[in-house]
Amino acid sequence: MSRIPHAKREELSTEHQKIWDHIHAARSGGGGPYSMLLHVPPLAGNVAATEDYFRLDSALSDADREIVILAAARELGAHYPWMRHEARGRQVGVRPEVIETLRAQGSRDGFTAREKLLTDIPLSLIREHGLADALFARAEGELSRRQLVEVIALVGHYSTIGFIANTYQIPAPEGSRTF
């Protein structure tokens, strides 16, 4: 049970119901952060469009994207996004060892250089809001300019998602394992 009731479609204007329908058409369940964000439909629409960009058109590969999101969700302690993206991470081939290590916040010594980089970036940004010069140099060496900008923005986007999940204590479905 979240801290406030979910937004309800029948209480929205016709125009805002279109935003609701668009958001729900692309998402199963309809819960999660959008159950709260849809109290402000135009904002929910913008956040969903950003999310859709990352999911469908990003310069990052699916696995790269999901590793960044999982590291961010775990660091923020955001259960609902973790649950969704653990499932998606498995679908797109994120190694189970990576998922379990992030879940346990364990040593990442067994990660590949790219996995290490893609988890170092969100951890550093969330903890310190920046990257040390050496980490920035690694990121610039490994990622294209567009990918680098997208990774930074993706971590920011998941701060929004994680903050909504945490502020409203949006639970993962009963019985699901998070961390």
Least distance to another protein from the beta carbon of 77, Å?
6
Tell me how far apart the alpha carbons of residues 94 and 75 are, in angstroms, rounded to a whole number.
18
Nearer to another protein, 95 or 153 (CB): 153
CB of 56 to another protein, least distance (A): 10
Question: Could you tell me the smallest distance in angstroms from the CB atom of residue 96 to another protein?
Answer: 26
Interhelix angle 113-128/62-76, rounded to 10 degrees, is 40
Strand, helix or coil for residue 87? helix
Q: Is the CB of 95 or the CB of 156 nearer to another protein?
A: 156
Nearest to another protein of 77, 110 (CB atom): 77
Measured CA distances, 179 to 13, 77, 79, 101, 110 (Å): 38, 8, 7, 11, 20
- Shortest Å, Cβ 62 to another protein: 16
Q: Which residue has the tokens 């639970």?
A: 171
In terms of CB distance, is 90 or 146 closer to another protein?
Answer: 146
- Ranges of H-type helices in 10-112: 14-25, 33-37, 41-56, 62-76, 79-91, 96-104
Residues that bind another protein (CB under 8 A): 3-4, 36-37, 39-40, 42-43, 46-47, 49-50, 53-54, 57-59, 76-78, 125, 129-131, 136, 145-146, 148-150, 152-153, 155-157, 159-164, 166-167
- 111 vs 158, beta carbon nearer another protein: 158
In the complex, the smallest distance separating the C-beta of residue 53 from another protein, rounded to whole angstroms, is 5
Cβ–Cβ < 8 Å for 166, 72? no
